Chains A and B, each alone.
Chain A
Amino acid sequence: MRVEGALALWGLLSCTACFSPPADFTFINGAEPQTLDPAIATGVPENRIISSLFEGLTTRHPETLEPLPGMAESWDVSDDGHVYTFRIREDARWSNGEPFTAHDFVYSWRRALTPETAAQYSYQLWYIKNAEKFNAGEISDFSEVGVRALDDRTLEVTLENPTPYFVSLTSFYTLFPVHRGTVERWGDEWIKPEHIVTNGPFLLRDWRLRHEIYLVKNPRYWDAENVALRSVRVLPSENANTAFNLYEKGTADWHGSMPAHLTDLLLERPDVHVAPYLGTYFVRVNVTRPPLDDPRVRLALFQSVRREDIVRYITRGGEVPAYTFTPPMHGYEPPEAPGYDPEEARRLLAEAGYPGGRGLRKLVYLYNTLEGHRDIAEVLQQQWKENLGVDIELLNQEWKVYLNSQRNLEYDLSRSGWIGDYVDPNTFLDMFVTGGGNNATGWSNEEYDALIARAARTDDHAERMRIFRRAERILVMDGPPVIPLYYYVVRWMYPPYVRGAPPNLLGELFLKNIWIEKEGV
């Protein structure tokens, strides 16, 4: 009986005692990836793995994020900015040894746009002629969509409008190629380690849910000689304290965040790297509800928040106070915006008929469950009371309930955040066009809509930036539907022996570029 018991226990333990060998580089990826299928993936943790397994027409410079040749060794753009011709590199191969061709992109983009695939980010392909119609099922003949392989090595893409950041978009995972034979043979199971065929710098060796992902170098990758890491372990650790412990005890070599309560202590350390991030923390204002339908009230709220207090005492991680919605980025300097001016704010509120806040109903500030959001909400509550005499009631909701309330405009003020998909002001500013799905404020401005539409038709970079500045000036000056609070920063932790991992504006980690400078590796 005792022997049987011991055997049973051994059997159980042996199920778990299956661990991967140590890797050259181990990093903490946060949440467990929803999927590794490039077409249907959506998040940052997914991106870090998918961008290592697959490669699009272009890749990105790890620091500046400028597009670099990937599967395409070169590309031409027609004079009118509508037609892009990509030349696929001759030495490109799938991980099973099959040659890589332009047809692989046609198949993959068609798959991403097919309604049955249900790709959430398929709109990243809508810049292509007729892609939106095909995705919506309005047309079923894919030959009407502006993508075709002229031969094995030439891919021609015709766009709806000149889109200067289209080349950058080709390094976004929704536009990555997938291996047709594998997808068609295995269906949903094609991304399992035993089936998957990839074309990027790494291969998927193992993937156990919420346990680990193990990658090894792909010897068939066209640039394999410049990939230093032979193996990578990915740990999905969502708990901030546990993730920090793993990093601190040397189990992980890289961690993409830090526990909020340790920020002050950690910021002094040399292994902490803080850099700008393409994201803004802001408050949405529901302009459909009185008294917030009065632009003066909104502007008064905008001008009476001392953002410096929030970044200095609450977030404390190097965040930058924000007065514009779009963070500064390469080639774009946001316009001047109203600053902190409580005197002017009081004047505006009085002008709107609420001197000292008298007569103004209590406003409800909606936020989702997170300690940091609550702290910021309390600071805002106090500042609006002190500066304007406005009473704020805080309303905390669980994430999905909060999203539901925000979407249905069941709020007065709602905490929000927005992270750009690509380095271009459009990823922020096209949100607030009339009826835009992500507008969620009820705000509408004809001139603003016209400017955003004009920017979409303009291929001159300098002119586009001027148009965006004009649009953004309207957004933050003309009775703003948003109250930007701060621009996010990336806070990465990695020791000096990890090289080639500079923080960048999109917080992307490029495993391809990393090397380890320590003995034995």
Chain B
Amino acid sequence: MLVFATRRLLLLPLILFVTATACFFILRTVPGGPFDQERVLPPQIQKNIEAKYSLDRPLVVQYGMYMRDLVHGDLGPSFRYLNRSVNEIILQAFPVSMTLGMLGLMFALTLGVGAGVLAAVKKNTALDYGSMTLAMVGVSVPNFVLGPVLIIAFVYYLDWFPVAGWGRLSHLVLPAVVTGAPYAAYFARLARGGMLEVLQQDYIRTARAKGLPARTVIAKHALKSGLIPVVSFLGPATANLLSGSIVVEMIFDIPGLGTFFTQGALNRDYLLVIGVVLVFATLLLIFNLLVDLAYAWLDPRIRLE
């Protein structure tokens, strides 16, 4: 297992290199530059700006300079937030996205797995139908609808939470719920499906026949294998959640990574976009690795090597 993990981690720099290279050249094919604006700048000023950011150099030279800095951990300057480096922006925004993403994930796992397991155990009852209908709604309702609905209910009518912003614990609740809701719904469906399959296995029947209490059968014997589908989705879901959601960030004014990424693309803030993509790629690779390791733990028949 150690060899497997090491091999995967060693691949990380290569994957990041390919990702950065692809992003670098793809972004440059899009029309418009980072300093284009409605007010056209006099040519000599345009020249000064391009010289300052090395945009006047051939693309290959710019690429070489970027890669040289990247090797040293320098993601370069932002073209939108002047005087700021991409490192600085990511260091400021990533903890925000990570906090929100972790809370969203905790909410999604608690609610989703709980509801899914319960629905499987109480198959074909009102509880099953009810939770699966809710899960269907959760998957279908986009967060740009759920967010405003929760704001109307919990901010305007009940006055329980602040409307938007960041900094206090109370700011986290609604965004975490909106972030986690679709994942909760998805987890619920996966958990139900996984559990139903396991509950039909012979060893579960044997455990029941031995007279073990239902709770023990589920907790000790069924859950571990039943949750494998949930675990397999956990990797990309975690990477997604931790790297920020543009919609939730816009609705609740959260200074996370998501908006920096989309605004970066719109502003042609090339290096910021590549920086965020690299963060996302790293998260994705690490969490997928963790998922693979978790597989082996959950089901010893799986051999990673």
Give me the interface of A with B, judged by CB distance under 8 Å: 9, 12-13, 15-20, 32, 34-35, 37, 40, 42, 115-120, 122-123, 132, 135-137, 188-189, 191, 208-212, 235, 237-239, 241-242, 245-246, 248-249, 251, 398-401, 403-404, 407, 416-418, 437-438, 440
Q: Is the CB of B45 within 8 A of A135?
A: yes
Q: Does B216 contact A (CB under 8 A)?
A: no
Q: Which of B45, B98, B168 contacts A120 (CB 8 A)?
A: B45
Of all chain A residues, the one with the shortest Cβ separation from B84 is A209
B166 and A211 within 8 A (CB): yes
Does the CB pair B164–A18 fall under 8 Å? no
A15 and B166: CB pair below 8 A? no
CA distance A218 to B84 in the complex (A): 25
Binding site for A on B (CB under 8 A): 30-33, 35-45, 47-49, 51-53, 80-84, 89, 92-93, 95-96, 98-99, 102, 148, 151, 155-156, 162-169, 172, 250-253, 255, 259-260, 266-268
Chain A's closest residue to B53 (CB) is: A118
Residues of B within 8 A of A241 (CB): 148, 251
Which chain B residue shows the least CB distance to A34? B82
| Interfacial chain B residues near A122, Cβ < 8 Å | 45, 48
User: Residues of A contacting B169 with CB < 8 Å?
Assistant: 13, 17
B260–chain A nearest beta-carbon distance, Å: 8
Please tell me if the beta carbons of A9 and B102 are within 8 angstroms of each other in the complex.
yes
Question: Chain A residues with Cβ under 8 A from B37's Cβ?
Answer: 42, 403
Most chain B beta-carbon contacts within 10 A, residue among A13, A235, A418: A13
* Given A209-B255, A438-B40; A242-B266 close (CB under 8 Å): no
Q: Is the CB of A245 within 8 A of B166?
A: no
**Interface pairs (15), CB distance under 8 Å:** A34-B81, A115-B48, A115-B51, A116-B52, A117-B48, A120-B35, A120-B45, A210-B260, A241-B148, A246-B163, A251-B162, A400-B30, A400-B266, A403-B36, A404-B32
- What is the distance, in angstroms, from A346's C-beta to the closest C-beta of chain B? 33
> Contact between A245 and B41 (Cβ–Cβ < 8 Å)?
no
- Of chain A, the residue at the smallest CB distance from B102 is A12
Q: Using known A-B contacts A13-B169, A122-B45, A237-B164, determine if residue A35 contacts B83 with beta carbons closer than 8 Å.
A: yes
A residues less than 8 Å from B38 (CB atoms): 403, 416-418
User: With A and B bound together, what is the CA distance between A37 and B84 in angstroms?
Assistant: 12
Q: Which residues of A contact B32 (CB under 8 A)?
A: 398-401, 403-404
A407 to B33, CA, bound (A): 12
A residues less than 8 Å from B51 (CB atoms): 115-116, 118
Assess whether B99 is in contact with A437, with CB atoms less than 8 Å apart. Answer: no
For residue A206, give the distance in angstroms from its CB to the closest CB of chain B.
11
Contact B52 A118 (CB under 8 A): yes
User: Which residues of chain B have C-beta atoms less than 8 A from A191's C-beta?
Assistant: 83
Is the beta-carbon distance between A400 and B48 smaller than 8 angstroms? no
* Residues of A contacting B82 in the complex (Cβ-Cβ under 8 angstroms): 34-35, 37, 40
Contact (A209, B163) CB under 8 Å given A239-B251, A407-B40: no
Q: How far is the CB of B8 from chain A (nearest CB, A)?
A: 24
Q: Given the complex of chains A and B, what is the CA–CA distance between A249 and B160 in angstroms?
A: 12
- Known A135-B45, A400-B36, A401-B32: A235·B266 in contact at CB below 8 Å: no
A16-B99, A188-B83 given. 10 additional CB < 8 A pairs? A37-B83, A189-B83, A208-B92, A208-B255, A241-B148, A242-B253, A400-B36, A400-B266, A407-B36, A407-B40
**10 tightest CB-CB pairs across the interface, nearest first?**
A400-B32, A19-B167, A210-B255, A437-B40, A136-B44, A118-B52, A35-B82, A211-B255, A245-B163, A118-B49
Q: Which residues in B have their C-beta under 8 angstroms from that of A32?
A: 81
Most buried by A among B30, B33, B253, B255: B253
Q: How far is the CB of A213 from chain B (nearest CB, A)?
A: 12
